[in-house]
Amino acid sequence: MRISMTPTATADDVEHLVRALQAAGCEPHVRHTAQRTVVAAIGGDIGDVSALAGVEQITPLTKPYKLASAELTSGEQTVLEIGDQRIGAGHFALIAGPCTVESREQLLVTADVVRDGGATMLRGGAYKPRTSPYSFQGLGLEGLALLAAAKARTGLPIVTELLDVRDIDAVMEVADVVQIGARNMQNYALLTEIGRTRTPVMIKRGLAATLEELLMASEYVLKGGNEAVILCERGIRTFETAYRFTLDLTAIPVLKSLTHLPVIVDPSHAAGRRDLVQPLSLAAAAAGADGIMVEVHPDPEHAVCDGPQALHTEEFSEFAALVERAAALAGKELVAA
């Protein structure tokens, strides 16, 4: 159930309600929105709390993803603060960088170019989920140190992947946004552990995951008290073989109607081809995505991984300017870092 408090409800009123819900065997989650405080009561029978001080209205949360649901916030969208950047509602994020951190030079050159071109965050994997165990697996701690150097140099917040719960402390030290890759979307132990932190997390949709499964994955993080979740559409498996994955653009407006969480799109992994990245990015931004994440490399022909889908550093600023215009069509503003 969703219990909304009156605008004048005090912190004591909220605490009293929380204790009453706990006594009734419910799990209460308090959320402060711009307008008012809302308490989600999960499980159990909430008993008679309607007469408690400060309680305004009690409505059911009908979806299985209670905390991710748009019902919880009555349609108000979540805005996350990441460094001095924002994402959600009218704030658009442009996340760019290499697939994987390869060397100091490769990362710093790319970081400078994407910062100057208008990116709001820098991406780059130090731990890589690779289909083949014989492929490059990432530079690990060395990669994280290079990401820290790139952040110190450019001021860009860092988005980087956590593959294994054993690396959580090292990754959290550098990451402003922890990426959970498509292959780990249903790694519930990992999601639960991230729910215990307060570091923003981006969850990528699994290769064959439904939107409800993606939202349930986010619920694992939200349940732990970490409210800073971003969802990422990155293409799904279909019968089509002309490109790597099918970018599900319909997921953008549908997710926006189901959840208050920011929704971004990764056209690079969907396309698998550089020439498709720009049209897909523009379509996603115009369709109302809260951000785009793209791969960029100074020498894609010699990239260690995902070279064919990486934008050349030289083409990034023109690309960013077009994305900014497409985002504006959907009423979103890209404010460079």
109 contacts: CB under 8 Å, gap ≥ 6: 298, 313
- State the Cα–Cα distance between residues 233 and 203, nearest whole angstrom: 9
Question: Residue 182 binds which one of Mn ion, ligand PEP, none, with CB within 5 to 8 A depending on kind?
Answer: ligand PEP
- Minimum distance from residue 182 beta carbon to ligand PEP (Å): 4
Say whether 3 sits in a helix, a strand or coil.
Answer: strand
Q: Is 29 a binder of ligand PEP (CB under 6 A)? A: no
For 108, other C-beta atoms within 10 Å of its C-beta total 16
Say whether 134 sits in a helix, a strand or coil.
Answer: coil
> Alpha helix (H) ranges present in the chain?
11-23, 104-117, 141-154, 168-174, 188-195, 211-223, 251-258, 267-271, 274-286, 316-329
Q: Is 125 a binder of ligand PEP (CB under 6 A)? A: yes
Q: Give 73 or 187: the residue with its C-beta nearer to ligand PEP.
A: 187
Classify residue 98 by burial, with Cβ atoms within 10 Å: 0-12, 13-18, 19+: buried
Give the residue at shortest CB distance from Mn ion. Answer: 99
Which three-class secondary structure string do you get for 216-247? HHHHHHHHCCCCCEEEEECCECCCCCCCCCEC
- Minimum distance from residue 194 beta carbon to ligand PEP (Å): 15
Q: Is 244 a binder of ligand PEP (CB under 6 A)? A: no
Q: Which of 234, 244, 260, 332 binds ligand PEP (CB under 6 A)?
A: 234
Q: Give 227 or 306: the residue with its C-beta nearer to Mn ion.
A: 306
Question: Residue 129 binds which one of Mn ion, ligand PEP, none, with CB within 5 to 8 A depending on kind?
Answer: ligand PEP
Classify residue 290 by burial, with Cβ atoms within 10 Å: 0-12, 13-18, 19+: buried
Give the residue at shortest CB distance from ligand PEP. Answer: 181
- Minimum distance from residue 130 beta carbon to ligand PEP (Å): 8
- DSSP 8-state class, residue 178: E
Q: Give 86 or 123: the residue with its C-beta nearer to Mn ion.
A: 123
Q: Which of 181, 200, 298, 300 binds ligand PEP (CB under 6 A)?
A: 181
Q: Is 297 a binder of ligand PEP (CB under 6 A)? A: no
Site string for ligand PEP, 78-107 (x = CB under 6 A): ---------------------x--------
Question: Residue 286 binds which one of Mn ion, ligand PEP, none, with CB within 5 to 8 A depending on kind?
Answer: none
Q: Is 269 a binder of ligand PEP (CB under 6 A)? A: yes
Strand partners, 92: 334
Span near ligand PEP by CB under 6 A; candidates 12-20, 29-37, 178-186, 272-280: 178-186
Classify residue 124 by burial, with Cβ atoms within 10 Å: 0-12, 13-18, 19+: buried
Which residues of this protein are in contact with Mn ion, per CB under 5 A?
99, 306
- State the Cα–Cα distance between residues 42 and 51, nearest whole angstrom: 19
The CA distances from residue 159 to 136, 172, 272, in Å, are: 19, 10, 20
Q: Give 88 or 138: the residue with its C-beta nearer to Mn ion.
A: 138
- State the Cα–Cα distance between residues 212 and 235, nearest whole angstrom: 15
Span near ligand PEP by CB under 6 A; candidates 26-34, 131-139, 149-157, 175-183: 175-183
- How many of the chain's residues bind ligand PEP (CB under 6 A)? 9
Q: Which of 129, 155, 288, 308 binds ligand PEP (CB under 6 A)?
A: 129
Residues that bind ligand PEP (CB under 6 A): 99, 125, 129, 181-183, 204, 234, 269
